[in-house]
Structure 1
Amino acid sequence: MDETESEPTRWQVEAEQNGERIDKLLSDALDGVSRTQIQQWIKDGHARVDGRNVKPNYKLSGGQVVDLAIPDPEPLDIAAENIPLDVVYEDGDVIVINKPRGLVVHPAPGHYSGTLVNALMHHCKDLSGINGVMRPGIVHRIDKDTSGLLMIAKNDQAHASLAEQLKEHSVTRKYVALVHGNLQHDHGTIDAPIGRDSYDRKLYTVTDKNSKHAVTHFAVLERFDGYTLVELKLETGRTHQIRVHLKFIGHPLVGDPSYGRSKGMTMDGQALHAQILGFTHPRTGERLEFEAPIPEDMADLLHRLRNL
């Protein structure tokens, strides 16, 4: 092949993984890489089972050996844009950004500009290529209308380390959120699987069908008349996880355009802020933790509630 590859990574298929699709096994093993990207690698022959090329839906048997040689990244062709960034921390391996509400994290078909990735391309040229040309450096995401902390990898070694920490649940991710209603308990855990909504494929819901395990821990910080300020700690990082879980327990986010309520307090985007982010530095092994203050629009909303 014309493309050059990295040295392959090898997995031995365990007995309990018998019958599992190869794209699912690799997706679970590489938490920071999209399943679509993994499927493309399999189609391009970068993943092999017992030395043979297979299709993304190939079902594995216990004892088989899976090799994945990640291809060298394509040259990045996303336009650099001079969009201001709130850089909380930066070194040769990692950048931590405090993302404002309203900023999309990465380009997508039909939306190639004005994103965090465009801003990062202007800020620095050395970003990891594991997630392809559309998502350089992006290890994890937060929604467009969620504010707060994100870690970005500057090289593939850092990306692999941070993605593994996410998979092992050793990354600290704490959010603060304002929800409708008064939670009955001061703290608790929402353990409910999440999958796509069968009625609207753009949304997600709690379901046992084609779902992924999802766990969110919560603790009440402050109570108001008809609203509650909570801290949320992610154990897993599924798409729209916090928003779906809070709707599931009957306390949707204030301002959530997809899962919230149309009546009562509102704001431009959901009242959800990724406040604390902690991880082990991929090169030095030092434990780092960062905190971003609640943004002004959400702070104003809390001030109004406190003075009712």
Structure 2
Amino acid sequence: MPRKNNKKPQHLLVKETSQLLPFLIQSLPETGRNSVKSILKRGQVIVDDEVQTRHNLEVHPGQKIQIVKNKIAKRTSTLHGLEILHEDDHIIVIEKSSGLLSIASHKEKQLTAHRQLMNYVKSKNPNNRIYIVHRLDRDTSGVMMFAKSEDVKNTLQKAWKKVVKERTYVALVEGLVKKRQGSIESFLRESKTLKMISSQNPKGGQKAVTHYKVIQSNGKYTLLEVQLETGRKNQIRVHMEDIGHPIAGDKKYGANTNPLKRLGLHAQILTFVHPKSGKVLRFESPVPRSFYSNSK
């Protein structure tokens, strides 16, 4: 039997609500499950004109899906430690792995989220650029957003408190947090050693407010849901040390243990108003299972 000519993109139409991976497996019965996963990973799946790589992306009736050859795959295969969750003409939202810098430091220039995304957009057009809107610490994983123009970056940063509707983290902290929920408020400033110092003195820095509630605890560790009211550098890390429950693996801010072999902090949810369309977009990154298993 002659092989089918697969050079042209395949076009699929969603007829009922499903997650992307199960939909593709059902729609491509002659393609093995592992091959379908590889097609997704390589960035060969386009949903409504946007490259998608998430297995659990929800697709709905009427949405159009294309499966292309390696043209787009070549652009995304060079991305390490990050996954693109959403891309349009104005922003890129990613899921960043622990250990990847958001932007270059004096020690690391090349393998950063910013540099990789800059190379990615330039591969489409040499004039394209990427701009930092906010940052995640190197060892914090989860959802992060970049702008594709200086105008959009400025719009987002100037109205950040109004634009961002939800910014939720999950933190694995040392010890038993007895208070089921609470708020921490202090003033933060950076020391000469680049460590953030917390103070109750209003003249001691920028105001920082963090809200938390307990998810579960085994006494040795507690898993917290953390909401940021302000977004200061190392804010959650400092505030957890303030209440006597430093984040697991955070030696800089008082931790004595490192059960995850990484910082126990994950940016789970980012919900914001799109700077151009005005639509509210919500992105969620699954919490690593190890966070739950170490607090049961």
Interval containing the TM-score (normalised by the shorter chain): 0.5 to 0.7
TM-score (norm 1): 0.65
Query: 132, 137, 141: which is aligned to 1:143?
Result: 137
| Cα separation, 2, equivalents of 1:221 and 1:305 | 9
Does the alignment pair 1:94 with 2:86? no
Equivalent position of 2:114 in the other structure: 117
- Whether the 8 Å contact between 2:223 and 2:291 is mirrored in structure 1 is no
Query: 100, 103, 116: which is aligned to 2:100?
Result: 103
CA-CA distance at 1:301 after TM superposition: 4.8
CA-CA distance at 1:108 after TM superposition: 2.4
Does the alignment pair 1:202 with 2:198? no
Cα shift readout 1:110-156 (whole Å, capped 9, x = no counterpart):
42111111210121137987xxxxxx411100100000010100112
Equivalent position of 2:265 in the other structure: 272
CA-CA distance at 1:167 after TM superposition: 4.1
AA aligned to 2:113 is L
| Cα separation, 2, equivalents of 1:179 and 1:249 | 11
AA aligned to 1:236 is T
Query: 178, 184, 190: which is aligned to 2:178?
Result: 184
Query: 240, 256, 263: which is aligned to 1:246?
Result: 240
CA-CA distance at 1:239 after TM superposition: 0.6
Cα shift readout 1:63-96 (whole Å, capped 9, x = no counterpart):
xxxxxxxxxxxxxxxxxx9333311111111111
| Cα separation, 1, equivalents of 2:93 and 2:133 | 11
Query: 148, 155, 159: which is aligned to 2:153?
Result: 159
282-291 or 164-173: bigger deviation: 164-173
Equivalent position of 1:82 in the other structure: 78
AA aligned to 1:205 is I
| Cα separation, 2, equivalents of 1:165 and 1:248 | 29
Unaligned runs of 5+ in 2: 1-76
Equivalent position of 1:20 in the other structure: none
Cα shift readout 1:216-245 (whole Å, capped 9, x = no counterpart):
010111121221110001111111000000
- Whether the 8 Å contact between 1:218 and 1:232 is mirrored in structure 2 is yes
AA aligned to 1:260 is G
AA aligned to 1:241 is Q
- Whether the 8 Å contact between 1:103 and 1:144 is mirrored in structure 2 is yes
CA distance 1:301–1:231, shift in 2 (3 Å): closer
| Cα separation, 1, equivalents of 2:253 and 2:109 | 26
AA aligned to 1:230 is L
Does the alignment pair 1:225 with 2:219? yes
CA distance 1:120–1:258, shift in 2 (3 Å): same
CA-CA distance at 1:294 after TM superposition: 1.4
- Whether the 8 Å contact between 2:163 and 2:272 is mirrored in structure 1 is no
- Runs of at least 4 residues of structure 1 off by over 4 A? 126-129
CA distance 1:181–1:128, shift in 2 (3 Å): farther
| Cα separation, 1, equivalents of 2:234 and 2:291 | 22
- Whether the 8 Å contact between 1:100 and 1:146 is mirrored in structure 2 is yes
- Whether the 8 Å contact between 2:95 and 2:142 is mirrored in structure 1 is yes
Does the alignment pair 1:289 with 2:255? no
| Cα separation, 1, equivalents of 2:278 and 2:162 | 16
Q: Provide the identity percentage.
A: 37
CA distance 1:185–1:301, shift in 2 (3 Å): closer
| Cα separation, 2, equivalents of 1:92 and 1:169 | 18
TM-score (norm 2): 0.67
Q: Alignment length, in residue pairs? A: 215
